[in-house]
Homo-oligomer: A and B are copies of this chain.
């Protein structure tokens, strides 16, 4: 096996396609060299070395050592210098570089090859003693830190090398490193060597080969250092073999005034504008650009300073973009007027820049529409849809804690602890953040009134999260470190107490909670955004609908491109104003007759709701789910609330309490809800079916087409569906006859949620009664995995950390398990009814990898919250492209 790949102009053994083996940096260095771009020569130890090293407890593969020797020899020939030569010493860098960029996580050692001997050769060759010893002291410091691991011994101690440096500067009464003289630096080298010897009992190696191997080992070790592991975990980087090791001839930007170094993007990474964008420093090394001690200059001013190098750089910008057909992020160094490229990679960009770059590259004929679609991530689309904090301000803000990024966006407001307080404040025009241990349907008004919602409990699909996403409202959920005391009107977090009325800020995209006000920037929805999504619409095969319960949500979703409503929950409509009174009357009734009276009061209200939604959807299909939640959710659980209801209804408070108690369930998720309500209280389904159909008739009569799809929830057994279907059909036909309309005019259909595992298992039977299936993957995940979404947050974090699930299955569909149920149900359903319409209305309908799955199993559409509709449009197109 070949372990090492050499690179130099016309001699590269690797290329850009070999990222897995050579890492991103190594592969692109080889590619650039092949393109004739000036790159300091070098060689790359492949990731297979790292793999071998890992699997053999830190041993090197046989033959590696001689391969290193051979390549070092080629490098010496290419540069005309020799490693360890006291006259013309070759200096080299050793850098990590995995297939996926992990900036700053792994180790680097520069200036290798410098010793007490060779440093003199550098002095001689450059005539710059200060430069030579500065390079040497940097090597000793870096080597001591990275390879020999001389670290502070306690958290309070400062870095031993920095300590020595500081002491010297004090002694010399200078402020900057650059003010130290050559002899100061010489002294520093000695002091550094001494501290290594004293603290570690080893000498700084004077053998360049020993230095080289020490650095290689350190880089390989750094692959599994804790922060690298954590980084991969956080960024969900899986399946990599290891890091490559790049050994490259040093070039210096700090050898004098004809030297410099810089970084640049081939386009503006913030806006996507097609301009060369970057900065540089003269007489500096790469780290100086980052360190922020000297202010780098805008790249365009380089033209005046070093016109030849600048022109060359512009030429390289063009070459790279043409070659890579994407925006590049490059690093370069100018040594004695000669330009060297040290790195190129695909440039990270903001969402806006991603969209603009992709669209403009299509317009310039560089890439196809399909490529453009694959260039923008669904997460970037999401970013574009929500106001965001000014990144600089956010970095400065005091972070209180982190919770789950439950609903993206940025929100700032005064803390309130109850829905009522939120509503009152909103009426006074105040901006508030609603902070709750968890939310319940009774809090909806307050959630709507608040800028954002913060909860201590609950996961990505908790009530707070689901409702907030539905509202397009920022939400951080399950911030477990929060200890909320409603009585005192304050919460405690990480030692800080925040009282009611104090301002906090939430970043719902990352789950961060900040103290005080963090200023926001407005999102820019440029025309490119629309262009890109229209291309996505041409390509995708999956329909995209929305989950919306109000005309307002429906209209928002249509604006975002929704092609219908996949889930209209009717229960939210039951909470508003005087309706809740009628709902409670119904629940408290003792028999059917007693229930029919309040239901008759609800009928016109529900009808009006549906009319509004039908109008907003303008003929697009609307799937309406009949009442789903357990009835006790509509009753007040606190003494005061119960007294209030008792008074309004003119019954003793005991009666209310008893009914609430009687409706209590140990596991409400698996209790008396969904179609089970419709089976035991058919009059509820009947009222809802009538409201839907009457609304449809009214709207149709006004000249607007209506496609109601009536959905029976929580079916587990075909007979549940057939009973409910019969009732709904009978009611619907009766309404049509009353209104003198036909089914051709109001083409309603009846179908069911597939959300109980048994329904998926018996989907062939269920399809006999269902014209459509809509997968309720939230409940399917709850029951299929046995995870209560309200409780599982407690351990799911640990489950993901331990790799039991790669993601929280409420966020990303568990394809192997729950997906199997979905697939099975699709197959069984189609067997019975080939034309059956299949969709998904669980939260997963807006999650890219889950959308990909939906595409693969052949669903007709996904349905998600309004603000996720554009995300789904893109993800569906990407799925279609990747599936080709």
Give residues in A with beta carbon < 8 Å to B: 665-672, 676, 679-680, 714, 716-717, 719-720, 723, 755-758, 761-762, 765, 779, 782-788, 790-792, 794-795, 798-799, 802-805, 814, 816-818, 820-821
Contact = CB atoms under 8 A, between A and B. Distances in A.
A665 B671 CA distance: 15
Nearest to A483: B658
A758 to B, nearest CB: 4
Contact of A817 (B723, B755, B758): B758
B670 A791 contact: yes
A324 B350 CA distance: 88
Contact of A791 (B671, B717, B758, B803): B671
Contacts of A804: 679, 717, 719-720, 723
A720 B755 CA distance: 24
A606 B788 CA distance: 31
A822 to B, nearest CB: 11
28 contacts: A665-B788, A665-B790, A666-B668, A666-B669, A666-B791, A667-B669, A667-B670, A670-B782, A670-B786, A671-B791, A671-B794, A672-B791, A672-B792, A672-B795, A679-B795, A679-B804, A714-B786, A716-B785, A717-B817, A719-B802, A723-B804, A757-B757, A757-B783, A757-B786, A758-B784, A758-B785, A758-B817, A765-B816
A821 B820 CA distance: 12
Contact of A821 (B755, B761, B779, B803): B761
Given A666-B790, A671-B791, A679-B802, 6 more contacts: A666-B669, A672-B794, A679-B795, A680-B795, A717-B805, A757-B785
Nearest to A765: B816
A820 B762 contact: yes
B802 A784 contact: no
B757 A795 contact: no
Given A676-B795, A679-B798, A799-B679, A667 B790 contact: yes
Number of copies: 2
Contacts of A668: 666-667, 788, 791
Contacts of A672: 791-792, 794-795
Contacts of A765: 816
A820 B761 contact: yes
Contact of A757 (B680, B784, B788, B791): B784
Looking at A670, A671, A672, A816, the one whose CB has the most chain B CB atoms below 10 A away is A670
A349 to B, nearest CB: 36
Contacts of A761: 784, 817, 820-821
A670 B795 contact: no
A799 B717 CA distance: 10
Contacts of A783: 670, 757, 783-784, 786
Contacts of A803: 719
A758 B814 contact: yes
A783 B814 CA distance: 17
A756 B784 CA distance: 7
A692 to B, nearest CB: 24
A821 B824 CA distance: 12
A669 B668 CA distance: 10
A665 B790 CA distance: 8
Contacts of A816: 762, 765
Contacts of A723: 802, 804
Given A666-B668, A671-B791, A762-B816, A786 B821 contact: no
A6 to B, nearest CB: 42
Given A723-B804, A802-B723, A671 B792 contact: yes
Nearest to A816: B762
A185 to B, nearest CB: 50
Contacts of A716: 785-786, 817
A753 to B, nearest CB: 11
A165 B368 CA distance: 102
Instruction: Give the 3 A-B residue pairs with the shortest CB-CB distance, closest first.
Output: A667-B788, A670-B788, A758-B817
Given A717-B804, A758-B814, A817-B758, A666 B798 contact: no
Contact of A762 (B679, B717, B817): B817
B791 A665 contact: yes
A785 B759 CA distance: 8
Looking at A719, A786, A794, the one whose CB has the most chain B CB atoms below 10 A away is A786
A90 to B, nearest CB: 49
Contacts of A799: 679
A757 B759 CA distance: 12
B756 A786 contact: yes
